[in-house]
């Protein structure tokens, strides 16, 4: 089965961890992940500026490792990211901001990427409140 996964909740919300565990289990079960799409507060899962206390799970780091190791398509909604100050180098330059808080393996793109993923997938699985 081919899954598209959308994550709407912030980096340390329980649904963020559930989404990661689901994605890991899906691949371990022989399924395919067409795309991971991070929307609304879900963009904070991709933010390099998030600092996790030492006694908590570092979900942004785990997401980054998972996407890199599995060579997955991790897309961050550009509109949601810009509203929350999550900028890659190109957008920081465009808006004349010094802070860059998004880097590889993440890709900034539009909501159309979620639509395309849904067209390619057998199922869309959403985590977090929309």
Task: Give whole-number Cα distances, 122 to 33, 49, 80, 125, in Å.
Answer: 10, 34, 26, 10
Name 7's Cβ contacts closer than 8 Å, sequence gap at least 6.
15, 16, 19, 36, 37, 38, 39, 42, 45, 126, 127, 128
Task: List the catalytic residues.
Answer: 77
Quick one: pLDDT at residue 129? 72
Q: Which domain holds residue 71?
A: 2-127
Quick one: pLDDT at residue 130? 54
Give the CATH number of the domain where residue 44 resides: 3.40.1260.10
Total domain count, the chain? 1
What is the arithmetic mean of pLDDT over 52-61?
94
pLDDT at 74 over 60: yes
- Strand 2-7 relative to strand 107-109, pairing: unpaired
């Amino acid at each position: 089965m081919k899954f598209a996964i959308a994550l709407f909740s912030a980096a340390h919300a329980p649904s963020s961890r559930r989404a990661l565990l689901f994605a890991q289990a899906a691949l371990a079960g022989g399924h395919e992940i067409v795309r991971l799409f991070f929307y609304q507060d879900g963009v904070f899962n991709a933010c390099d500026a998030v600092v996790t206390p030492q006694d908590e799970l570092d979900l942004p780091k785990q997401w980054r490792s998972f996407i890199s190791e599995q060579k997955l398509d991790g897309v961050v909604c550009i509109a949601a990211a810009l509203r929350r100050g999550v900028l890659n180098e190109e957008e920081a330059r465009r808006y004349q901001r010094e802070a860059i808080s998004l880097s590889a393996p993440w890709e900034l793109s539009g909501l159309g990427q979620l639509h395309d993923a849904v067209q390619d997938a057998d199922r869309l699985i959403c985590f977090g409140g929309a």
